[in-house]
Amino acid sequence: MSGGLLVAGTTSDAGKSVVTAGICRWLVRRGVKVAPFKAQNMSLNSFVTREGAEIGRAQAMQAQACRVEPTALMNPVLLKPGSEQSSQVVLMGRPVGELSARGYHGGRQQQLLGTVLDCLAELRGTYDAVICEGAGSPAEINLRRTDIVNMGIARNARPRLPVLVVGDIDRGGVFASFFGTVALLSREDQALVAGFLVNKFRGDVSLLEPGLDMLHGLTGRRTYGVLPFRHGLGIDEEDGMAVSLRGTVRESNVAPPVGEDVLRVAVCAVPLMSNFTDVDALAAEPGVVVRFVDRPEELADADLVVVPGTRGTVRALRWLRERGLADVLVRRAAEGRPVLGVCGGFQILGERIEDDVESRAGQVDGLGVLPVRVRFAREKTLTRPVGEALGEPVEGYEIHHGVADVTGGETFLDGCRVGAVWGTHWHGSLESDGFRRAFLREVAAAAGRRFVPAPDTSFAALREEQLDRLGDLIEEHADTDALWRLIESGAPQGLPFIPPGAPA
């Protein structure tokens, strides 16, 4: 078979990524050979595949849900915002240039349709089913002409893809959103919209059922399930541009610490923050409390400060100085209090940055707490390094234009350490359990905390458990028989047209 499904949403952050991962895990547990696909992703959280291609982290996690190795085919177009107006375009895992939003939607996007359709066709020829994720809403009528990720891909795929629309009822207005989404699509596109899936419902489902019946009467489309609200089910975030400092603090493990103290980790929420998922492995440790901060006083009680990756190193450095955070970081380093810089954060902690590529700012002084000089190269480094540090095996991935010249300090992964300040380009290193525990012991000693890492925390096992919980949600709260028929046979015939349809 060559089954498929497009999971669209009434809005951004409706739960498309989570639902796609859940459907993938449910299918693979049924013995179906399944793969994820997202034609175009806008994200500052990315991942490097084994062949050295850069894709969105959400698709890498969905591949894990499918128990397959992620490839560039699963996310052929990745947009990495560099400002509110422009993005780096990554095609088949490699950067091909910077484009403004107007330039991209003005013609470049439509040129990529053939590429994304070829990738989808190759996946469908290899797997029993491909579960595709849309982006934003399929009813963005201003972007319909150049759409290659929502109805554009569903309509042009062969065979065509049935569409399931996900709505976040926790936001309110889900019935209007479902109806309006369908009513703003063309007749041709409406024929592919099979029905709806309610996400994040709290309460008694029986109270919702009259509304679902009315929605069916109004649209002729059924609801395939009502997923209850569950804490801690989000997979890797997609859009670093949308991070709310107060609303997206990563959920820390509620288990008590093994030792006498907790360990407090403060993450500087720099502009264009990328791969902030690096700290998820810290938050998974019992007794480690992780929060994002943007004020110098919030660093006062931190045992470890993390300066994360960023798509704008020079801009982030300027922001740290303007906010007074830079002075605190320099003072912490002088006092022997722990600081970790990852990728762009590592570059910021160095002595000098020479950037004629990303910001075109030329030579800029860094914070000077690590003996490192960075020069930005036009070629992007995309690797999956493996090594040993702190006496433990460790692996990670690198995504950066900056080339670091380390002139002193102790070796630390690809970077260095001076006192209680560490710097590295390696993302994902803290997911290596033994290395993470050794690093936390070093941090606790430097911070004077009687914190002891749990001896048995497995980050990989926690990820698997999370993906299984997503699969459970689909299996227990969706009509899986109807969902399978949809994937296998496509949208039902004779679905009614809901006026007014898409404007000409």
Condensed to tens digits (0 to 9), the pLDDT of residues 107-141 reads 677 789 999 999 999 999 999 999 999 999 999 99
Does residue 211 register a pLDDT over 90? yes
Question: CB of 347 within 8 A of CB of 404?
Answer: yes
Report the pLDDT value the prediction gives residue 252, as an integer from 0 to 100.
46
145/300 Cα distance (integer angstroms): 51
pTM: 0.92
Contacts of 4 (CB under 8 A, 6+ apart): 124, 129, 130, 131, 132, 157, 159, 161, 162, 487
pLDDT of residue 241: 37
Q: What's the pLDDT band for 240 if we cut at 50, 70, 90?
A: very low
Compute the average pLDDT of residues 417-424: 97
Distance CA(227)–CA(467), nearest Å, equals 15
Confidence (pLDDT) at 238? 55
The active-site residue out of 343, 401, 416, 477 is 343
- Please name the residue that has the structure tokens 């996310």: 75
> For residue 30, how far is the Cα from the chain centroid?
26
How many CA atoms within 13 Å lie on the side-chain side of 457? 28
pLDDT above 60 (res 205): yes
The answer to whether 28 and 128 are in contact (CB under 8 A) is: no
What pLDDT sits at residue 179?
Answer: 98
Lowest mean pLDDT among 81-95, 198-212, 272-286: 81-95
343 catalytic, yes or no? yes
Can 105 be counted among the known catalytic residues? no
Interhelix angle 16-29/480-489, nearest 10 degrees? 90
| Section 204-210 average pLDDT | 95
Categorize the per-residue pLDDT at 246 as very low, low, confident or very high, splitting at 50, 70 and 90: very low
Residue holding tokens 């959103």? 177
The CA distance from 245 to 302, in Å, is: 17
Of 400, 401, 425, 427, which one is the catalytic site residue?
427
Mean pLDDT of the chain: 92
pLDDT bracket for residue 467 (50, 70, 90): very high
